[in-house]
Amino acid sequence: MTDPFKQLHDAMEEFSAERDWDQFHSPKNLAMALTVEAAELQECFQWLTEAQSQELDEKQLTAVRDEIADVQLYLIRLAGKLDVDIEAACWAKMEKNAEKYPAEQVKGSAKKYTSFMSNR
Amino acid sequence: MTDPFKQLHDAMEEFSAERDWDQFHSPKNLAMALTVEAAELQECFQWLTEAQSQELDEKQLTAVRDEIADVQLYLIRLAGKLDVDIEAACWAKMEKNAEKYPAEQVKGSAKKYTSFMSNR
Amino acid sequence: MTDPFKQLHDAMEEFSAERDWDQFHSPKNLAMALTVEAAELQECFQWLTEAQSQELDEKQLTAVRDEIADVQLYLIRLAGKLDVDIEAACWAKMEKNAEKYPAEQVKGSAKKYTSFMSNR
Amino acid sequence: MTDPFKQLHDAMEEFSAERDWDQFHSPKNLAMALTVEAAELQECFQWLTEAQSQELDEKQLTAVRDEIADVQLYLIRLAGKLDVDIEAACWAKMEKNAEKYPAEQVKGSAKKYTSFMSNR
């Protein structure tokens, strides 16, 4: 079995079982923890310009890598509790997005992009 | 090639290129979008009890699935822009967590769990 | 002048000017910082049950007080940059809410509440 | 009595009592709702440049005003549930900040600012 989602899921399940942490891992709590981790990831960028955010130094990148992992791990854990197949959900969502944002209509204009996005 | 992270990454890259959206996808902006999607996922649970959050009906689950996908897709997109290997980052983080929260020390007690967590 | 919003606004403006921090305080960046602080506030509650969240000990309450202040201060700073009168905005929003959620229609039922909320 | 925090607090309490919504308003849930509203506020800015975020048009500003109000109202509601005096908490936090970021040490340099901030 080489599916990375499945492997990470199983490793987290074991990790959590060994610590008796399942009692804290309701979907509600996991969704809260996920948002907190996403905010910590965002914090790495908040005082940087967009250009600076593309040129992180090694120290910044190490922090970012850890936060990306935290978001991913809580997402896998939450999806596991709800029996959601993340990969399948992503492909289904990409199809919806392709219908919602037809390339020929939204291409090239920031105005169109943001007005599309804000009218979702 | 069957790595789901890679396949989703490439599909998003193509999707974005076709729409000229790369100009909006600085790491800073993608990190913001990720947090917004995490908050939308959290919103599905905010007025539910923890018990209710474990027993979603089909309509709730459909919404949750879409939001999980949105978080995952922005995370892949952000990691791609920064050349971060999500899977490797997750395994590295799990090792750090294993050192930080030794099973024998944190097991079983909510008090220990939350005090550990709040002293991170 | 005894308006607390105005007094806090002026104190923050002075604080920021003394440190040359205005350059970082675009509305975009302040909105990011606000979300990060809100997530830190939320983090205080994430592993607590709803009942526990009502009975914080003094240490928890001190942390919560600080995070509430951080959210409030960034909100005042952001509103100031955009010339938004927070108090007036609140009263206007409460009127909108009164129209959107008529007491006689939404009263008493969790189901009605959450379905109202999720259909916003 | 002209304290705006108190007036808004009392108006929200009445609004909530009329709708039997107190049952949903545990501090935990209110903290979640606050973060969701902060993220909605942030969403108004996420695809804008920092410069654009300073020059909102009337439509954007109307949306921002509503989201600022939502954040403020949930913050007042949460603070009320925990008997936290927001204004006092803000002044106390500003004193802490003045000690933590001495003007003469942090002035003028983005590098110093962000490294100060990231080492909090």
Give pLDDT, residue A86. 97
Res C120: pLDDT: 46
Output the pLDDT for position C115.
57
Would the ipTM clear 0.90, i.e. be above it? yes
Which residues 6+ apart lie within 8 Å of B66 measured at CB? A89, A93, A96
Largest separation between any pair of C-alpha atoms in chain B:
52
| Residue D119 forms contact with A (CB below 8 Å) | no
CA distance B111 to C13: 41
Reply yes or no on whether the pLDDT at A120 is more than 50. no
Supply C48's token pair: 């607590």
pTM for this one? Answer: 0.93
pLDDT tens digit sequence for D84-119: 999 999 999 999 999 999 988 888 655 656 655 554
Write down the domain spans for chain D: 1-84, 86-120
pLDDT in tens, D30-41: 999 999 999 999
Say whether residue D36 is in contact with chain B using an 8 A CB cutoff: yes
Question: What pLDDT digit, counting tens, does each position of D45-77 carry?
Answer: 999 999 999 999 999 999 999 999 999 999 999
Distance, in Å, from the CA atom of C87 to the CA atom of C76, rounded to the nearest integer, reads 10
CATH architecture of D1-84: Orthogonal Bundle (1.10)
A73-119: per-residue pLDDT in tens? 999 999 999 999 999 999 999 999 999 999 888 886 556 566 555 54
Can you tell me the mean pLDDT for B21-46? 97
- Chains in contact with A, counting 3 or more C-beta pairs less than 8 Å apart as contact: B, C, D
The residue type at D91 = W
CB atoms near residue D51 (< 10 Å): 9
CB-CB neighbors (< 8 A) of C110 in chain B: 47
- Tokens for B79, please give them: 């990691």
Residue corresponding to tokens 């809410």: C97
Cα–chain-centroid distance for residue D119?
Answer: 22
Is the pLDDT at B119 greater than 60, yes or no? no
Within chain C, residue ranges assigned H as helices are: 4-18, 27-43, 50-53, 58-81, 86-100, 103-106, 110-118
* Spatial contact of C54 and D76, defined as CB atoms under 8 Å apart: no
CA distance D95 to chain A (A): 22
Say if residues C38 and A42 touch (Cβ distance below 8 Å): no
**Each residue of C69-94: b (16+ CB within 10 Å) or e?**
bbbbbbbbbbbbbbebebbebbeebe
